[in-house]
Amino acid sequence: AAGVIQSPRHLIKEKRETATLKCYPIPRHDTVYWYQQGPGQDPQFLISFYEKMQSDKGSIPDRFSAQQFSDYHSELNMSSLELGDSALYFCASSSDNSPLHFGNGTRLTVT
């Protein structure tokens, strides 16, 4: 069965640089979520999209933005990166109250 695809798997950036993470949800899933998981932490909700419109917003910094495109893939854009942004970033998708299915995550390291 198709799963959520995230790219890249690993990303190394320097402080103040920008990064773009991509997510391809499971086909026919109408909701996409972004989560941030710091070392030793539980995943924290950042933002979600339902049918390409932002549906909910969590603890997403103003330096981050996200969108969902017509083909339902989503991108998380991160600017002015800080050391504290180093984390595992998950994308997940679901539909009709089904469980969230997570991608393998993008591990971002900011140096």
Partner 1 sequence: AQKITQTQPGMFVQEKEAVTLDCTYDTSDQSYGLFWYKQPSSGEMIFLIYQGSYDEQNATEGRYSLNFQKARKSANLVISASQLGDSAMYFCAMREGRNGGATNKLIFGTGTLLAVQP
Q: Which residues contribute to the site for partner 1 (CB under 8 A)?
A: 30-31, 33, 41-43, 45, 48, 50-51, 55-56, 58, 88, 90, 92, 94-102, 104-105, 107
Residue from 85, 89, 77, 76 nearest 109 by CA: 85
Q: Which is nearer to partner 1, 24 or 33 (CB)?
A: 33
Cβ 44 to partner 1 shortest distance, Å = 8
Cβ 107 to partner 1 shortest distance, Å = 7
Cβ 31 to partner 1 shortest distance, Å = 5
Cβ 12 to partner 1 shortest distance, Å = 16
Peptide bond into 25 cis (omega under 30): no
Q: Which is nearer to partner 1, 68 or 110 (CB)?
A: 68
Q: Which residue has the tokens 């900011």?
A: 110
- Residue 66 to residue 97: CA distance in whole angstroms: 22
Q: Which is nearer to partner 1, 39 or 84 (CB)?
A: 39
- Residue 81 to residue 70: CA distance in whole angstroms: 27
Query: How buried is 39 (Cβ within 10 angstroms: 0-12 exposed, 13-18 middle, 19+ buried)?
Result: exposed
Q: Which is nearer to partner 1, 17 or 51 (CB)?
A: 51
